[in-house]
Amino acid sequence: MPDPLVVKICGIKTPALLDAAIDSGADIVGFMHVERSPRYVDLETLQELISQARGRVETCVVLVNPDNSTVMEVAALSPDWIQLHGPETPHRVEAIRDEAGIAILKALGIGNAEDVARVAEFADAADRLLLDAKPPKGAERQGGLGVTFDWTLLKALDPNLPFMLSGGLTPATVGEAIKAVRPMGVDVSSGVETAPGVKDAALIRAFIDSARAAHA
């Protein structure tokens, strides 16, 4: 039997969609605490959503290059994970993990072989790695941009290094991605939306069902 696939639904903003993700079988739900994102949730909403999820599903708060006070504000809410989705160095990732006392999911943008070569530098600094499409030059934000990357680049990775896969996945493509890349988990945000930041419960369920079927 293969290890169970971890499915993360990111960019949840409302109690109803949180329930929909949990009911559809998500393993982790992600909340964006990044102001320039269309999926942004403030601290008060974060607290409510994390409380609603507690004991039902793992929670993850996404931060981009956060300062120490932001890290501690989020750590005080006791999510299961903090996802770092910015240009943080391995040293900074370790410092945030030590300071917050919370498991770190480090997202790394992949656009070329050089990016793949850098992945191993983060293996010990973070608790888990998420390989995402590198945002195009001039993009105003990281992640949730609906673009994929060349998965064949990942053949250069150490096969013993587990990682989650993100970047432009949809209910229609996630099965192909799982079969091609064999990640330990998959992460979706824009691929289950009808407009930027607007999640759809039926798309969430379709994504999770497609991912589970491909992994089985």
Indicate the domain borders of the chain.
6-215
Write the pLDDT tens digit of every residue in 92-122. Answer: 999 999 999 999 999 999 999 999 999 999 9
Mean pLDDT of 150-159: 91
What distances in angstroms separate CA 75 from CA 83, 115, 151, 197, one per listed residue?
12, 29, 33, 24
Per-residue confidence (pLDDT) for residue 216, from 0 to 100: 85
Write the pLDDT tens digit of every residue in 176-190. Answer: 999 999 999 999 999
Is-contact 93 103, C-beta < 8 A? no
Per-residue confidence (pLDDT) for residue 134, from 0 to 100: 85
CATH class of segment(s) 6-215:
alpha beta
Can you tell me the distance from the alpha carbon of 97 to that of 103, in angstroms, rounded to the nearest whole number? 6
pLDDT exceeds cutoff 60 at 1: no
Write the pLDDT tens digit of every residue in 11-28. Answer: 999 999 999 999 999 999
- The answer for residues whose C-beta is within 8 angstroms of residue 165's C-beta and 6 or more apart is 130, 131, 151, 177, 178, 181, 183, 185, 186, 187
Catalogue the active-site residues: 10, 132
Confidence label for 3 from pLDDT (cuts 50, 70 and 90): confident
